[in-house]
Amino acid sequence: MLTSSAMQEETGAQKHDIKKDPATLLQDLTTESQNEASQGFDTKSALEIARIINHEDAKVAAAVKKALPEIAQVIDQVARCLRDGGRLIYIGAGSSGRIAALDASECPPTYSTAPGQVQYIMAGGPKALASAVEVNEDSEELGQRDIARRRPTRKDMVIGLSASGRTPYVVAAVAYARARGAHTAAVTCNQDSPIAAAADIVIVAEVGPEVISGSTRMKAGTAQKMVLNMITTGAMTRMGYVYENLMVNVHMQNSKLVERGIRILMSACKIDRPTAVETIKSAGRSVPVALVMLKARVDKPEAVRRLAKSDGNVRLAIEDNSFEL
């Protein structure tokens, strides 16, 4: 693990920023400012409250849109890392950490990713998902320790989430991962933040002041959720786990997902239900194998071979002229 002096030398100005007076820091953050649109909020009717929140929420997509070039860079880098056997590791605290945990947890059932491929680190550990352990987010040492336990390498992508952009736990973790050669990115809602200096790529969704000042689980949280949806969906699609707009790598572990797999096959191959069911059974309950069998008109062993050759990319496995068999 890096020593405190080494971390200070590597992170430079952003480490100095974290040590500034907290009151000064908060005063400078747009996410902590008072929102003029919600003045007198506590005197409003339920309908007025809902309207104000809805009006502010409508600004989130536009804020995320401005960061699309950076989001695209992260999508491609995540896909490269996963394709090379690396990992995507999210790290966050509070609401940001919980959003990261949600996105990581959704990848295995949606795309059949291996348990270790998409991970999350939460300040305070798993218990912080349900109970506030916010004091941990002030510790640079804990951030370094927690990411060090995952042993990040140049094959990995580490993404830090911090609405303020100054959470010491997250900034220190991202800086540590970068110093170890990992690819790094940050998702924040404030410009010119310490985490921006710590990461290789910075995604800024500047959503402005919250309806309830400082309640970054609102617009900032929505923006972060949108960004992470784009990153993992985009990366998995680039890896070929999506065919057309169908989640063909779905992991059929319950009745709903089995039904989804059948319907995917029916839609993609224009076949009836009995044919889809029978093909999935003969494919070992694998939608990608079944899809390649039907689309390329090959047997199961050949479909499995093509998928192995294409690193699981369904379209390449179907279109055998797209890669060297």
What is the set of domains in the chain, with CATH numbers? 4-238 (3.40.50.10490), 255-322 (1.10.8.1080)
Q: What is the mean pLDDT of residues 148-165?
A: 97
Average pLDDT value over all residues in the chain: 88
Percent of the chain residues topping a pLDDT of 70: 89
Q: What is the mean pLDDT of residues 228-233?
A: 98
Q: 106 catalytic, yes or no?
A: yes
Exactly one of 137, 140, 206, 210 is catalytic; name it: 137
pLDDT in tens, 164-183: 999 999 999 999 999 999 99
Cβ distance 202 to 177 under 8 Å?
A: no
pLDDT of residue 27: 66
Please report where in the chains the tokens 């940050």 appear, as a residue. Answer: 186
* 24 confidence band (pLDDT: 50, 70, 90): very low
Taking the CA of residue 143 as centre, how many other CA atoms within 13 Å lie in the half-sphere pointing to its CB?
Answer: 32
Identify the residue with better confidence: 47 or 133.
47
Q: What is the mean pLDDT of residues 251-256?
A: 82
pLDDT of residue 15: 43
Dihedral pair phi/psi, residue 28, rounded to 5° = -85, -10
* 135 confidence band (pLDDT: 50, 70, 90): low
Task: State both tokens at 83.
Answer: 């394709």
Q: 36 catalytic, yes or no?
A: no
pLDDT of residue 19: 52
Exactly one of 106, 134, 302, 319 is catalytic; name it: 106
Cβ distance 140 to 192 under 8 Å?
A: no
* 137 confidence band (pLDDT: 50, 70, 90): confident
Dihedral of CA atoms 318, 230, 147, 136 in degrees, nearest 10, equals -150
